[in-house]
Structure 1
Amino acid sequence: MSKYLLNKFLFTVDRDPELVERYRADPRGTVEWWEDTYANRILGCHAGESSTWLGFDEAEREALGSHDYPRLFEMGAHPFLTLTLFIAMFERDHPPMGFQTEYARRVAHVQLPYPDIAT
């Protein structure tokens, strides 16, 4: 498992409104496309700079592909990154502060100390 890659996915998708909508509409397809296209790009470098070894494991693919943000939190994805991305995708489906309340309810089972979010 790579918390770095999980957080990189959340970070890059959240910063592109078209990717947010793509991920909302087709999560599994977006995860597969992103992994093939962006996973090995080095952040801050041009497209020609890349590595070759990064990829999601099956548990990560499943959690990302099913929008399972409680599982992502349990896996150590950064809670701020999960919250901001999922707010962008699902806030419109809830009353004001409704999604934030739902997020808190669904991750309430995670007790202190929270999962390690260091990458």
Structure 2
Amino acid sequence: MSKYLLNKFLYTVDRDPELVERYRETPGELVSWWEAERANTVLNCITGEASTWLRFTDEERDALIAHDHVRLFELGAHPFLTLTLFIAMFERDNKEPLEYQKAFGARLAHFDMPYPDIAT
């Protein structure tokens, strides 16, 4: 498991409107593409440097594809990175102000402190 890789996915996808839409519409395709093309690149660096060993576990991949922010939190994804990306994808589907954010928080309400470790 790589909390770093989960957080890198959330961070990089959230910063590209085209990737946000691809993740919303075809999550399995986007996750597979991102893992193959972007997972091993240096964050915020376009010099061609890359590693070869970073991969999602099946559990991480399944949670990403399912847009399961509760499971992602359990796996160590940072809740603020998840929230900002999921707002970009799903807030438009709600009619009331902060409706999505409240539902997001309610689904995490069963966690007691200490929360899962989100340190990378």
**TM-score by shorter chain over 0.5:** yes
CA contact (8 A) 1:70 1:106 kept: yes
Question: What is the match of residue 102 of structure 2?
Answer: 101
RMSD in angstroms over aligned alpha carbons? Answer: 0.8
1:10-29 matches, within 5 Å, as 10-29=10-29
Where 2:5 maps in the other structure, the secondary structure is helix
Q: Displacement of 1:45 after TM fit?
A: 2.3
CA contact (8 A) 1:41 1:47 kept: no
1:21 and 1:115 mapped to 2: Cα distance? 29
**Between the two proteins, what is the percent identity of the paired residues?**
66
Post-superposition Cα deviations, 1:43-69, rounded to whole Å, max 9, x if no partner, equal 132251000000000000000000000
Unaligned runs of 5+ in 2: none
Give the number of aligned pairs. 119
One-letter code of the match for 1:102?
A
Question: What is the match of residue 67 of structure 1?
Answer: 67
CA shift in 2, pair 1:22/1:115, >3 Å: same
1:72-91 matches, within 5 Å, as 72-91=72-91
Unaligned runs of 5+ in 1: none
